[in-house]
Amino acid sequence: MLKKVGVTGFFALFMLNAGLMLYFGRETFQVTSNAQQPSRYSYHFVLISEEVDNEYWRLVEKGAEAASGKHNIHLDYWGPKQANNEDQLTFIDKAIASKVDGIMTQGVSSDTFNYLVNKSVQKGIPVITVDTDAPDSVRLAYVGSDNYLAGKLAGETVIKQTSGQQKVGIVTGRFEASNQQLRVKGFKDAVSSVSRIQIAGIGESNITKSGAIQATYELLKNHRDITAFYGTSALDGLGISQVASLYQQKKRPFIIAFDTLPETLTLLNKHKIDATVAQYPFIMGERAVETLFAIKKGAYPGSLQYTKTDIMTNLKGSHP
């Protein structure tokens, strides 16, 4: 009898343990559904973002979902909990191991990324980049903004909308992300011939609002004469605006942000920022799936698929 109870108890414990292992394994890697493709779908695609819960990436996901629905594609959306190249690369490798039919991922500038894209394509799994390109890899196409041009547009807006000497503080998402580098380069190139506009310094937000607050605060501490700020990723403008309204109350700096997340548009309407560079993440997601679907069907849609970027300003000229 005792022996029977012992065996049953052991079995129950074993099952509980196995269940917990499965559950937490899935949680750790944010795998939202089974990697095995159910055969009722036409294809199984994976979208890999810079950060899974970032509001901007959720819009890319929504667009990808909309297009997947149209073509009966099974879509998985994966990404690191906090922006991190290593985790992102692990997700790519995992998608290859899962034998998905196609991968859409933010481009990463690294040899490991190029190696993984090569490995994937060799195995017959096409890869396209979304939002950030990796032109040195063998990805089949890029869908997203022309990030250099977007940076230029931001620079031209500062030239147009300000007068007199300007010292610009730049808050950028991640120094190692090539879309951020291009946005900074485009901006610098645009203002380089205008001597009244100088770059005071640059700080990194790690694509979070709290990081942007910290970076803005550091910039202001080291360069008290800053008169303008440029935020190059979706949450940077929010952090800049929060610090600027606390520390530069008398004459707030000119602020140009990136993206059109609801909070950014509210700040624009309230005249707390002056302009923002609009990107179209929903369309990026939609077009990425359409492009990958076309590739699967044997078409070659062209390697550079730029989506629109434009400037939204606060036309009343809020900047004092």
Which residues in this chain contact ligand BGC in the complex, by CB under 6 A? 50, 54, 56, 131-132, 173, 179, 207, 233-235, 258-259
Closer CB to ligand BGC, 48 or 117, in the complex? 48
Q: How far is the CB of 234 from ligand BGC (least distance, A)?
A: 3
Q: How far is the CB of 109 from ligand BGC (least distance, A)?
A: 13
Closer CB to ligand BGC, 73 or 278, in the complex? 278
Q: How far is the CB of 283 from ligand BGC (least distance, A)?
A: 13
Closer CB to ligand BGC, 73 or 184, in the complex? 184
Q: How far is the CB of 48 from ligand BGC (least distance, A)?
A: 12
Read off the amino acid at residue 21. Answer: M
Closer CB to ligand BGC, 37 or 260, in the complex? 260
Q: Which two tokens stand for residue 47?
A: 């979208």
Q: Which two tokens stand for residue 207?
A: 């694509």
Q: How far is the CB of 21 from ligand BGC (least distance, A)?
A: 31
CA nearest to 47, candidates 295, 300, 284, 258: 284
Closer CB to ligand BGC, 176 or 189, in the complex? 176
Instruction: Give the number of other CB atoms < 10 A from CB of residue 83.
Output: 24
Closer CB to ligand BGC, 130 or 228, in the complex? 130
In the complex, residue closest to ligand BGC by CB:
234
Q: How far is the CB of 156 from ligand BGC (least distance, A)?
A: 18
